[in-house]
Amino acid sequence: MKPLTVIDFHSHILPALDHGCEKIEECREQLKLMKDSGTDIAVATSHFYPHMHDIDVFADKVDRAIEKMQASGLVDAPELRVGAEVLLCKGMDGMENLNRLCIRGTNLLLIELPTSSISHKHVDTVENLMLKGYRVLLAHIDRYLDAYPDEIESLLSAGAVAQINAYSLASRSMRKQILHYLETTDKICAIGSDLHGADSSNYKKFVKAQKILDDYYPEIMQRASALLEGSQVFSVTE
């Protein structure tokens, strides 16, 4: 049987891009933690806030961060893919060069829903993104299942897929809710650590997800692999 490719689909690795890793030393520690924990591929998804950031400036900063990582003599690191965690803002489907925020080599956008409120205009914006040819992966939907079940359902019915955060499985009630949800949907296509910095206790929760999710785990990892088809591979080790 082909060994499972372990993909951490949501992480804040790139140095000085957001409040994840500040410096290259922390980034080195984080990548080693991921590699030592058995992660084969990590998707670097630094925060992008459309109301605050400029797409081209952000994408250029991402390029520089990768160059810095490649020049810093990293030894232990998973293979990287690079995208962004993009906060959903109403009407953002009209922004130019949005493709620069996709996981590179794909048309996949990791979209973070607002926590304050989700209106029908947000749902319309996601639908418009998909009409423009983007695929939408909703970040950590475990955060919204209680507050916005109807909106989540609308988005998934319209064609979006979803990612869950592994650390939510640490709570007994959330674990029960997620496992129950998995019985009803095949839209969960990715698991993420959402790791900021090199907190090993947090990353243990990502590793533990394999056991907790049991048979769902290989299914989700296979869906994650499919989502990454055609993505650009970034090797940052020597």
Asked if 194 interacts with Fe ion (CB under 5 A), we say: yes
The pair of three-digit structure tokens given for residue 85, joined into one six-digit string? 């965690």
Strands 7-12, 135-138: pairing kind:
unpaired
The pair of three-digit structure tokens given for residue 90, joined into one six-digit string? 């109403």
- DSSP conformation letters of 163-232: EEEGGGGGSHHHHHHHHHHHHH-S-EEEEE--EES--HHHHHHHHHHHHHHTTHHHHHHHHHHHHTTTPP
In the complex, the smallest distance separating the C-beta of residue 10 from Fe ion, rounded to whole angstroms, is: 5
Asked if 8 interacts with Fe ion (CB under 5 A), we say: no
In the complex, the smallest distance separating the C-beta of residue 23 from Fe ion, rounded to whole angstroms, is: 19
Asked if 85 interacts with Fe ion (CB under 5 A), we say: yes
**Distance between CA atoms of 213 and 169, rounded to whole angstroms?**
9
Q: Which stretch binds Fe ion (CB under 5 A): 33-41, 51-59, 84-92, 229-237?
A: 84-92
In the complex, the smallest distance separating the C-beta of residue 85 from Fe ion, rounded to whole angstroms, is: 5
Q: Which stretch binds Fe ion (CB under 5 A): 34-42, 103-111, 142-150, 193-201?
A: 193-201
Q: Which stretch binds Fe ion (CB under 5 A): 32-40, 78-86, 118-126, 158-166?
A: 78-86
Footprint of Fe ion on this chain (CB under 5 A)?
85, 194
